[in-house]
Each structure stands twice: as structure tokens, then as C-alpha cells.
Structure 1
């Protein structure tokens, strides 16, 4: 029996109509160019895998499964997946707040 706590997940959940859910997948060993407008007003959860934020100031920040972050207004250059499985990010925002709702 596994006593490890289950991490909350947005996958497969219905949200109230005022919110939009978007799934972003970064393939293994690939990078996604950071577009600040894409993350406006969104709370982001790492649903699977690991993602590294490579910042324009040279810093690198790692987020793994279960961690929650905010990506708007940061000096991020790219989102990079350093592992051999896809990184799945879920972005939840108010409907109409992002450019891709």
C-alpha cells in the first residue's frame, strides 16, 4: 500500500465557466520560447515531468511534478524540458484574460 499523498491535478477536471484550462506539452529535450502574453493571469501547475525556466539573466529554475508557479512578468527566455518524458503544464486563468482563452 502506497501511503504517499496524492498531488492535486487539474487533468480531467471541469472548471467553473469563468475559468479556462489550457494544456502545454514540452517534448523531451525540447525548449519552448517564452511568450509573456501566453501566461497572463494564469496559475500554472506541472502535471507531469520537469520543466526548467531559463532566464535572460542566466538563472535557471527547476519545477517538478506537483509544483505550482506563476510565469507572467518574469525574465524567462525559454521553458526547457531536460528529461526523457514529456513535461505537461496546466495553465488555469480567468476566461478572457489571456490571448488564447
Structure 2
């Protein structure tokens, strides 16, 4: 698995097994990603590396760092911004649909 820009994905995803999907999202230094609630639906998000600020709809910001766990569904957020000097790597971990 590779992350954005062809960078190797972190080693953590393999630890979850076949019942989970793990998606890597990278926000480059100084970059922002428009918030799309559907992108984060049903996922627990681990900030594996770097820093992220959630830019709220009211203009406020909430900062998070390496090791923080987030739930990004249903929030009044406009964007995810990386104020740091290194890429921010987020792992979105969600259950795979049950097989019948």
C-alpha cells in the first residue's frame, strides 16, 4: 500500500486484519484538504505523523498532533490544514462490510 505521492504507507495498517479497511491520507506541509464528510464516514482516524488543524465553519481552529485519535464525521469543519513542516499522515480505519 502506498500513500499520496507514492510514499510507502505506514506499517500500522497491516495490524488490523481482513475485517478492516485502512486508508492513508497525506496532507503536505502548509497544505489543506477540503473537508468532505463522506470521506470520513464510519472511520476512526489516527494521526500517525505530523500535525493537523481542523478549520471550523465558524473560523475557529482545533489542533491535533501525532497519536491523536479523531472522529471526523458530522463536524462543522471546512478543511484539514497542516501547519507543520512535515507531511501529516492520517489513517482512516473502518470496518469492511460483512460478507454474506
- Identify the residue that residue 39 of structure 2 maps to in structure 1: 38
- Identify the residue that residue 16 of structure 1 maps to in structure 2: 17
- Identify the residue that residue 4 of structure 1 maps to in structure 2: none
- Identify the residue that residue 61 of structure 1 maps to in structure 2: 62
Residues 10 and 91 of structure 1: CA distance in aligned 2, closer, same or farther (over 3 Å):
farther
State TM-score, norm by structure 2: 0.82
Q: CA deviation at 1:45?
A: 0.6
Q: Does 1:25 align with 2:26?
A: yes
CA distance in 2: counterparts of 1:16 and 1:47, whole angstroms: 18
> Which segments of 5 or more consecutive residues in structure 1 lack a partner in the other structure?
1-8, 97-101
Alignment length, in residue pairs? Answer: 88
Two-structure CA RMSD over aligned residues (Å): 1.5
* 8 Å CA contact retained: 1:10, 1:90: no
More helix by share: 2
State TM-score, norm by structure 1: 0.81
- Identify the residue that residue 7 of structure 2 maps to in structure 1: none
